[in-house]
Amino acid sequence: MDLTFADVLAAREVVRRHLPPTPMWNYPVLDAAAGATVHVKHENVQPVGAFKIRGGLTLLDAMSPDDRARGTVTYSTGNHAQSLAYASALFGVPCTIVMPAAANPAKAAAVRSHGAEVVLTGDNLEAAQRHAEQLAERKGARLVSPGDTPELLAGVGTLYLEILEAQPDLDLLVVPVGSGTGASAATVVARELAPRCRVIGVQSAASPAAHDSWRAGTLLQRPNRTRVDGLATGRGYALPQRILAAGLADFLLVTDDEIGEAQRLLATHAHTLAEGAGAAALAAVLTRQNLFANRTVAVVCTGGNADAAELRALGTPP
Ligand SMILES: *Cc1c(COP(=O)(O)O)cnc(C)c1O
């Protein structure tokens, strides 16, 4: 079994030593706008601004003292980088993050602020990945795949324990997908706690690799053109895709503009600052009335790391 419910329960013992549960609120004005009962799970309030911290802590906790001494290496431009840097620092483990040369300087600075070393190299994330692999080999460090690492799935699954213990009668649970760690863990938890609840994935139509891989039943590469960072992947990841194949009820695509509209609605109707990826689930609810009208739905606001340019763009809708 790739990920069991027991793995997620064990991860909760780790996560709860470091982080309180996050709030989940319902906003009647948002319900009215969405035409559904919407519970918003607030992972944007995590210390690194996103749910991935749960996975980072679970991974570092599981590493042996020997492995910790050798350190961690990963490749990412976004929240996975911050999560691994934060968790590595907490456990006193050296951490190196490889980012493409043109990475957003604010993101590199955020990672450095957690004490990690940042290596800027290559034209894209694939090139950064190759460099990270060589670096990990040379250092003897643990190379952490953002998608194919079971401890990360177990850790992020704790978020779905919190949601489904609070609202076991949900009709639908809507999860934004990049590599698919969050959505795949959600299906494992839902099967156990709320078998009637359908787990729905959402990705940007401009970066549909996970969506297309799930529909095709095989790992695919796709153009990666979304401006929504957390959802920007160019390929399907094997481990989450295996789990999603068995457990995901449906997978929807939304446009980047629809995501922007949902971000604005979270700001005005739920006093919540979401980054694009954190609003994608709500974007699906707003644009697929046939699926969601009058149902009880949870949407995960997975993160709030919107930078200044993203905030400016929200202020001037297309
Ligand atoms: C990484 C990320 C996602 C996508 O999660 P996966 O587990 O990679 O599918 C969604 N939202 C935010 C804010 C993220 O950082």
Residues 127, 133, 139, 143, CA torsion sign = positive
Give the distance (Å) from ligand 1 centre to CA of residue 226: 13
Average pLDDT over residues 80-97: 97
Average pLDDT over residues 74-85: 93
Residue 290 banded pLDDT, cuts 50, 70, 90: very high
Say if residue 77's pLDDT is above 80.
no
Say if residue 199's pLDDT is above 90.
yes
Site to substitute for ligand 1 among 51, 125, 203, most atoms within 8 A of C-beta: 51
Residue 156 banded pLDDT, cuts 50, 70, 90: very high
Does this model's pTM top 0.95? My answer is yes
Q: Could you name the CATH architecture of 5-50+150-313?
A: 3-Layer(aba) Sandwich (3.40)
Atom from ligand 1 closest to the CA of residue 177: 9
CATH class of the domain at 53-144: alpha beta
Query: Domain boundaries in the chain?
Result: 5-50+150-313, 53-144
The pLDDT score that the predictor gives to residue 27 is: 98
Give the integer Cα–Cα distance in Å for 169 and 130.
44
Identify the H or E element spanning 24: strand 24-26
How far from each other are the two terminal CA atoms of the chain, in whole angstroms?
46
Share of the chain above pLDDT 70, in %: 100
Give the distance (Å) from ligand 1 centre to CA of residue 26: 22
Site to substitute for ligand 1 among 104, 188, 231, 254, most atoms within 8 A of C-beta: 231
Give the integer Cα–Cα distance in Å for 26 and 41.
9
Smallest CA separation from ligand 1 atom 12, residue: 230
Smallest CA separation from ligand 1 atom 2, residue: 230
Give the distance (Å) from ligand 1 centre to CA of residue 282: 14
Say if residue 125's pLDDT is above 90.
no
Average pLDDT over residues 29-40: 98
Site to substitute for ligand 1 among 41, 45, 46, 52, most atoms within 8 A of C-beta: 52
Task: Write out pLDDT tens, residues 224-245.
Answer: 999 998 999 999 999 999 999 9
Give the distance (Å) from ligand 1 centre to CA of residue 161: 17
Tokens of 91: 């456990």
At residue 272's C-alpha, the angle toward residues 267 and 273, to 5°, is 80
Say if residue 103's pLDDT is above 90.
no
Atom from ligand 1 closest to the CA of residue 233: 8
- Least confident window among 49-58, 122-131, 265-274: 122-131
Average pLDDT over residues 255-260: 98
Share of the chain above pLDDT 90, in %: 91
Looking only at the bridges linking them, the beta strands covering 37-42 and 24-26 are antiparallel
Instruction: Name the average pLDDT for the chain.
Output: 96
Average pLDDT over residues 39-62: 97
* Ligand 1 proximity of 230 Cβ (cutoff 6 Å): yes
Average pLDDT over residues 255-278: 97
The pLDDT score that the predictor gives to residue 124 is: 85
- Equal fold, 5-50+150-313 vs 53-144: yes
* Ligand 1 proximity of 275 Cβ (cutoff 6 Å): yes
Other Cβ atoms less than 10 A from the Cβ of 94: the count is 17
